[in-house]
Structure 1
C-alpha cells in the first residue's frame, strides 16, 4: 500500500527567501521609509474620507411638508439710528394676513444711546408675502426716521448644523446700509428655495435657502408723510433641493486600502530594483575602466 503524503505548503505562493541570501542597501532603506510614510498619509486621508462621507444633492419639483404648515422665520437686524421704542414688525401675505406691530417672540436690545438690535421669531404662510421692520406700530412717531441698518441674520426654516452643507441659507449676513438718504426705504426681494437635509441616521431638517435683490426708494403715506422701512419680500419656488449624507461601503474602503498598500509596494520595488541595477552596472563599468 502506497502512502500518500500531501504537504499543504506547496500552495504557498509567497515563498520565503533566506535572510542570508538577501542584501540590504542604503537606497532600499530610504525608499522603504518613504514608502511607509506615503502609505500612512494615504491611509489617513482615505480613513477620514470614509468616516466623514460626502453630501449628495437631488433636485425635484415638490414642496416639503403640508401646504397648510407655516415657515418659521428668524430675523436679527441692528438699527443704529432708531430707538427700540419706535421699532416694530409688520407681516403681510397674499392670504390676507396683515399684522401691524407683531410683538410675539420679539426682542429689542439697546445699541448705544440711539440705536437698537431687533430680533424676532415668527411664522409665515407658504404664499408670497412680506415682513418689514418699521415705525408703523409706534405710539409716537420719531421726528427723524433713519433706517440705516446692518443685517445679522435672516433665516427661513430650521438651522442646519452641518457646516459642510452647500447653499445660501443666510446670504444677507453682514449686509450693511449705513450711508445714504435717511428718508429711504430699503427693499430686499427674495426667492426662497425649499431645502431638505438628511443625515446618515435618516433624520431630516427642513430649511430654505434664498437669493435676493436690493433696491431703495422714498415712500410716502396717504397724508404725504415719508414712511421709510426695511422690507423683506419673499416668494417660494416649486423646486426642492435635498441634501443627504452618503458614506461609501466598507468593502470599498478595504479595496482602496489594499490598492494603496499593493500599489505603493509595487512601485517602490520597481524603483528600488531600477536603482540597484543601475548601481551595479555603474560599478562594473568602473571596474572595466580600471582593468
Structure 2
C-alpha cells in the first residue's frame, strides 16, 4: 500500500518516477525573458525551418547518379513510338516502310500504327483503316502471305481500282492531311524507317498531284521516341515542324554536303543567330503548317544516334523495411537533319527518312531515395542541432551584455 504511493511520485522514501525526468521544469517566477533571447529564438526557428525544408526537398528529389559502360544487351526488340502529322498528304497514299541491317524489310507497316484523316484546317475526319495505296484487308493479307513466302524481299503491287484513283484525287482537291500515330517494333540493330507515298502507283500520284515533286511532305513531329519514357527524358524531335522553306533548310542540289555543315556556314555568313532562334521558336509553337504549295516537296532525312539507357529507381515502404527496384530500358538520341529538294525530272518521291544507329556505350541512371528512417534521423539532428546552437548563442549574447553593462557602471 505504502510502496504504491511511493512509485506514484507522492511521498515517502520510495522510488519516484519523476526522478527520471531529464527535462526539469523551472518555476515561472525564476525565468528571465530578454529581447536578445527572443531575437536569437526567432533566428533559430527560421534556420530550423530552412534546413528542415532542405532535408525534405532532398528526400523528395533523390540524387541522380549516371554511369557509362559497354552495352551488353542482345536479342531485344525496340519499340518506336511516333505521332507525326502531314497536313498536305492524304492517308490514302501514305505508308511506312522499315528496314534494318539484319536484312528485315517491312513494307507498308501497319499493326499498331494508325492513320487519322484531317481536313484542311487540321480537324479530324475519322480514322483511315486501309493499307497504303488503298489496298483492302483481303489484298493486304495476300501481300503478307506472299512476302513471307518470298522471304520478305518482294514488293507486291496490285493494279489499283479506278475508284481509288478518284479517292486520292478527291482528297488532294479537298487538301486533306493525315496524322500517323502509334508504335511499331523493330530489331535492336541499326536501320531506318521512312514515311512516303511509295506504296502508291506513280501514275496515280501524277494524276492526283499533277507532278510528284508537288507532293507537300511538310510535317510536324509531335512525338518520336525509341523506348519507354522516364522522368527527365528529352526527345529532341518532339514538337519539331518542317515545311522546307528557304529560311529553314539549305537546299543542297548536289546532295553531297550535309545540312548541318551548310547551315553552320550560312549562320556564319549572315550572322543572324538571334533572328534564327526567334523564327525557330515561332515554328515550334505552330502545330500545323497549312501552306499549300510545293515548298515542302523533297526528301527529309533525320540521322539519329541512339544511346541505350537504363533507368533505375529504388522504392521502399514501411520505414524502409520493404524495398524494390524499378528498371526501365529505353534509348536517348541525338539528331542531325538533312534536306534535299526534289525536282520534276528526278523521278524520286518526297519522303521523310529516320535513319538510326546505336552507340556501343550504354548509360545507367540510378535514382535512390534514402530510407525514411535515415531521413527522419537527419531531420531530428537538424532540429536538435539548431536548438542547441541557438541556446549556446543566447547564453553567449547574455554574457556579453552582462559584461558591457558592468563596464558602464
Q: TM-score, normalised by structure 2?
A: 0.59
CA distance in 2, matches of 1:122, 1:167: 20
- Residue in structure 1 matched with residue 311 of structure 2 by the alignment: 197
Query: SS where residue 122 of structure 1 aligns?
Result: strand
Q: TM-score, normalised by structure 1?
A: 0.81
Q: Does 1:109 align with 2:171?
A: no
**Structure with the largest fraction of strand:** 1
The 5 A counterparts of 1:13-52 are 20-52=29-61
- Residue in structure 1 matched with residue 394 of structure 2 by the alignment: 272
Contact 2:309 2:362 in 1 (8 A): yes
Q: Does 1:152 align with 2:222?
A: yes
The 5 A counterparts of 1:239-278 are 239-249=361-371, 252-278=374-400
CA distance in 2, matches of 1:10, 1:203: 52
**Structure with the largest fraction of helix:** 2
Q: Does 1:173 align with 2:238?
A: yes
Contact 1:130 1:232 in 2 (8 A): yes
Query: SS where residue 195 of structure 1 aligns?
Result: strand
- Residue in structure 2 matched with residue 3 of structure 1 by the alignment: none
Contact 2:218 2:297 in 1 (8 A): no
CA distance in 1, matches of 2:182, 2:382: 54
The 5 A counterparts of 1:27-106 are 27-64=36-73, 66-67=74-75, 69-106=76-113
The 5 A counterparts of 1:123-162 are 123-139=185-201, 140-141=204-205, 142-143=208-209, 144-160=214-230
User: Structure 1 residues 135, 28: CA separation in 2 closer, same or farther (over 3 Å shift)?
Assistant: same
CA RMSD of aligned residues (A): 3.1
| Structure 1: segments with no counterpart, 5+ residues | 1-5
- The Cα shift of 1:250 comes to 5.1
Instruction: Spell out, residue by residue over 1:233-290, the C-alpha distance to the aligned partner (whole angstroms, 9 max, x if none).
Output: 000112111222212255643552344124322432343334434444554455x4xx
CA distance in 2, matches of 1:146, 1:73: 25
- Residue in structure 1 matched with residue 298 of structure 2 by the alignment: 184
Q: Does 1:237 align with 2:359?
A: yes
Contact 1:63 1:194 in 2 (8 A): no
Counterpart of 1:118 (choices 165, 180, 184) is 180
| Structure 2: segments with no counterpart, 5+ residues | 1-14, 121-174, 246-294, 315-323
